[in-house]
């Protein structure tokens, strides 16, 4: 960690007294030993622990590249804002914008995108290893839910849908299972879908045209408000395995997932969930 000390802001430069553990995290590593994986700070900032292994440093490098190189200006709209890296209790945290900030009851979902989690530069042995790790419907539809939080409007509680729920998806029931994420027990929250579909469509359009990087093992963080109508946001997260490079060759794997997810959400919005079928 010594190589980072000069660039990291130290403990007394942040409002540590206002830090809180994140209650609405839906998937991923919640802590690393005795140190939380995430902390909520003031003014809509989220602090992500990047000290646990080399993946944290690689993700930090990706964020710094995106927010320092003007070629990535458009992509910044689709990911959390990177502010700085700090030291807290001798642990390094990235300060990022919190996608859930300002939501009364954030209903978030972590959606893994990509039909594979390796790239063409990996050795054949490594590709075979990672092929076995791709779970659920991801190899076919290009996405899978790692987890979600859903507001229950009947008893005013938040229900957690875990990894097991995500792995219960099949090609046949994918639309119906996705609809469960928008079901608050009183209604299907179709009001939030136009905004989410538009944001996903904008991301798809940008991603299929850019030639700067490829995404591998990244996620979509989709959030809507359990109490506020028509309020939702989409952000790409998790960049520990991505590379900034010219003319990437692996982007079609993520494109497949985005297209299928948009198609499913569009069917849900139109009230045609039962009519959705995977188009081979």
**CA nearest 268: which of 178, 152, 187?**
178
Question: Which numeric CATH code is attached to 106-275?
Answer: 3.30.470.160
Contact 54, 4 (CB under 8 A): no
Give residue limits of the domains in the chain. Answer: 2-97, 106-275
Residues paired with residue 225 on neighbouring β-strands, in sequence order:
106
**Cβ contact 273:176 at 8 Å:** yes
pLDDT confidence of residue 194: 98
Backbone angles phi, psi at 241, to 5 degrees: -120, 15
The tokens describing 257, both together, are 């997932």
pLDDT of residue 40: 85
- Can you state the angle between helices 193-209 and 252-269, rounded to 10 degrees? 160
Along the chain (280 residues), what's the average pLDDT of each consecutive run of 10 residues?
Answer: 48 53 55 72 88 88 96 97 90 94 95 74 57 70 95 97 94 97 98 98 95 88 97 96 68 88 98 93
What is the pLDDT, as a whole number, of residue 185? 97
What is the Cα–Cα distance from 191 to 182, expressed in whole angstroms?
A: 10
Q: What is the pLDDT of residues 107-116, one digit of tens each?
A: 999 999 987 6
Contacts of 109 (CB under 8 A, 6+ apart): 26, 145, 147, 148, 149, 161, 181, 220, 221, 222, 223
Mean pLDDT of the chain: 85
- Distance, in Å, from the CA atom of 251 to the CA atom of 216, rounded to the nearest integer, reads 9
pLDDT at 184: 98
pLDDT at 251: 65
CATH of 2-97, picked from 3.30.870, 3.30.460, 3.30.200, 3.40.50, is: 3.30.200
């Amino acid at each position: 960690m010594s190589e980072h000390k000069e660039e990291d802001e130290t403990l007394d430069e942040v409002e540590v007294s206002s830090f809180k553990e994140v209650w609405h995290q839906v998937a991923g590593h919640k802590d690393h030993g005795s140190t939380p994986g995430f902390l909520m700070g003031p003014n809509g900032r989220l602090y992500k622990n990047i000290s646990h292994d080399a993946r944290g440093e690689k993700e930090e490098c990706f964020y710094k590249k995106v927010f320092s190189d003007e070629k990535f200006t458009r992509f910044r709209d689709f990911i959390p804002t990177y502010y700085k890296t700090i030291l807290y209790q001798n642990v390094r945290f990235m300060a990022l914008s919190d996608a859930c900030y300002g939501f009364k009851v954030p209903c978030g979902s972590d959606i893994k995108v990509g039909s594979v989690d390796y790239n063409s530069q990996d050795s054949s042995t490594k590709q075979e290893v990672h092929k076995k790790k791709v779970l659920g419907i991801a190899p076919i539809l290009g996405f899978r839910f790692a987890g979600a939080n859903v507001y229950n409007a009947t008893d005013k509680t938040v229900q957690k849908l875990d990894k097991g729920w995500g792995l219960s998806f099949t090609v046949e029931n994918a639309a119906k299972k996705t609809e469960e994420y928008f079901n608050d027990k009183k209604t299907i929250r179709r009001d939030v879908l136009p905004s989410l579909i538009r944001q996903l469509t904008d991301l798809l359009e940008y991603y299929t045209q850019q030639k700067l990087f490829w995404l591998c093992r990244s996620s979509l963080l989709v959030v809507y408000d359990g109490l506020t109508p028509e309020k939702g946001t989409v952000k790409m997260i998790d960049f520990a395995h991505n590379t900034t490079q010219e003319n990437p060759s692996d982007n079609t794997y993520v494109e497949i997932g985005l297209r299928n997810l948009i198609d499913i959400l569009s069917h849900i919005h139109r009230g045609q969930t039962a009519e959705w079928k995977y188009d081979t």
